[in-house]
Amino acid sequence: MRRILQFILKILARFVLRKYKPIVVGITGSVGKTSTKEAVYAVLKRKFKVRRNLRNYNNEIGVPLTVLGLETGGRNIFKWIILFLKALRLILLKTDYPEILVLEMGADKPGDIKYLLNFVPVNIGIVTAIGEFPVHIEFFPEKDDLVEEKANMVKCLSSFRLPNNERSSGIAVLNYDDLSVRGMRDKIKSGTKLIYYGFGNGADVKLSNFEPKFSNLKNFGASFKVELNGSIVPVRINALGKQYAYACGAGITVGVVLGINLVEISQALKKYKVMEGRGNLIKGIKNTIIIDETYNASPAATLAALEVLEQFEGRRKIAVLGDMLELGEYTEIGHRRVGEKVAKVADLLFTVGVRAKFISDQARKTSGKLSEENIFEFDTSDQAGLPLQKQIKSGDVILVKGSRFMRMEKIIEEIKG
């Protein structure tokens, strides 16, 4: 049934794309895809009619549904029939279709990106980051195979017409600071324009002077500068982590490519918001602050979240960290790397899951702020909530992060105000 559904959606999406010919911005990477998608969308929606994936619509079902402007029919066959009829109407009649599609594309297994690119002609391809210990590596024989799969995004970009009517043979937007991503330059076909973004000196769209600021739950964010062709413009966003500056760097690059000036882009990014479970700040019990990072977890993303926790000076810091899944052979070393960092940042550590015990074990072995009596281990998120409540004191900052399967949001429910 799923294969038939997948095939029908693919054919319908192909027809719609051929008819309306929108500019397609494709986004992939091991971390930062969704935050980058939201940044690109925030920049472009000021000047264009734009559509992007909602929720987790980034796979072989979700991407064509986004192209068609539809939501899933679930397990209801009659709902799917109605959706297919709506898609046919889109093909047969002339409707008001978006000028630009911003499509996040995930790769859980070999062939996923290649499959999507088979019917979605990407014009501007963004690769965010791979990281030292990439997620989904469990389903790829080697890290190089995962990098190769992600690189498909920029290998064969489709030509398109820019808003100024100039013709472009495709534009690759790569994170200069991630070495695996930077190396994808060798895979780009001749004629494709390459633009790097990042904090490194070799970036074309250069970011600098990142500075997070927190006053209270209604007044926080970060500022940084963006430099391009000799022009320097300040940017302020309502997010604390440096990873969101990278997301905005990609958004800035796409905006400039499509003719938006840096000042307008800076204004647009003031409305950029992180999505639920991806670094939101929540009021907790006993006048505490919760950093909600419960959507998912990888070593790179967890280290970035710990850097955010570290920024709260003068407050006691609690890290609640669950298993990070799909790391394959990197499972132990990835968790231990997090353990090294958390030992130097947190005053209390709660781990959830079997794999996360590598975090607590490494934290014990690493010289830092954590002492043995302030490290607590639990098998499930249900077990951790009440003991955490008992340890919380007024003014604490509590980071909660783990892979989706660990259901770390249950802990948030226990401690939020």
Q: Which long-range contacts (CB under 8 A, 24 or more apart) does 272-275 make?
A: 272/38, 272/39, 272/42, 272/237, 272/238, 272/239, 272/244, 272/248, 273/38, 273/238, 273/239, 274/35, 274/38, 274/238, 274/239, 274/244, 275/34, 275/35, 275/38
Beta carbons of 57 and 64 less than 8 angstroms apart? no
Residue 143 has pLDDT above 90, yes or no: no
How many angstroms separate the CA atoms of 148 and 131, rounded?
14
End-to-end alpha-carbon separation of the chain, Å?
44
H or E, element range at 404 = none
The structure's pTM equals 0.95
> Rounded to an integer, what distance in angstroms lies between the CA atom of residue 48 and that of residue 252?
15
70 pLDDT band, cuts 50/70/90, is: very high
Report helix, strand or coil for 396.
coil
Q: What is the pLDDT of residue 417?
A: 84
Q: Whole-angstrom Cα distance, residue 256 to residue 264?
A: 10
pLDDT at 387 over 90: yes
Q: How far is CA 187 from the centre of its chain?
A: 23
pLDDT at 198: 98
Confidence check: pLDDT of 134 > 90: no
Close Cβ partners of 197 (under 8 Å, ≥ 6 residues apart): 173, 174, 175, 176, 203, 204, 205, 206, 207, 246, 249, 250, 252, 253
Cα–Cα distance, 312 to 399 (Å, whole number): 11
pLDDT above 90: residue 1: no
pLDDT at 69: 97
Q: What pLDDT, on the 0 to 100 scale, is given for residue 138?
A: 80
Within 10 A of 109 (CB to CB), how many other CB atoms are there? 13
Tell me the pLDDT band of 229, cut-offs 50, 70 and 90.
very high
11-55 per-position pLDDT tens digit: 999 999 999 999 999 999 999 999 999 999 999 999 999 999 998
Q: Average pLDDT in the 162-171 region?
A: 94
Average pLDDT on 164-176 reads 96
**Alpha-carbon gap, residue 87 to 64, rounded angstroms:** 11
The predicted structure's pLDDT at residue 55: 85
Residue 309: the pLDDT is 97
**Which pLDDT belongs to residue 142?**
84
List of domains in the chain: 2-269 (3.40.1190.10), 280-415 (3.90.190.20)
Residue 121 has pLDDT above 90, yes or no: yes
pLDDT > 70 in the chain, percent: 100
Q: What is the pLDDT of residues 74-83, one digit of tens each?
A: 989 999 999 9
Q: Mean per-residue pLDDT for 383-412?
A: 97
Amino acid identity of 351?
T
Q: What average pLDDT is seen over the chain?
A: 95
Q: What is the SS3 assignment for 51?
A: strand
Q: Residue 331 pairs with which residues in a beta bridge?
A: none
Query: Greater confidence, 323 or 217?
Result: 323
In terms of C-beta density within 10 A (0-12 exposed, 13-18 middle, 19 or more buried), how is residue 350 classed? buried
**In this predicted structure, what is the pLDDT of residue 137?**
78
Q: Residue 146 and residue 327: Cα distance in Å, rounded? A: 12
Average pLDDT over residues 133-161: 90
Pinpoint the alpha helices (H) of 276-330. 299-310
Q: Where are the alpha helices (DSSP H) in 156-283?
A: 179-182, 242-257, 262-269
Return d(Cα 188, Cα 154) in angstroms, integer. 6
Q: Are 98 and 50 in contact, with CB atoms under 8 Å apart?
A: yes
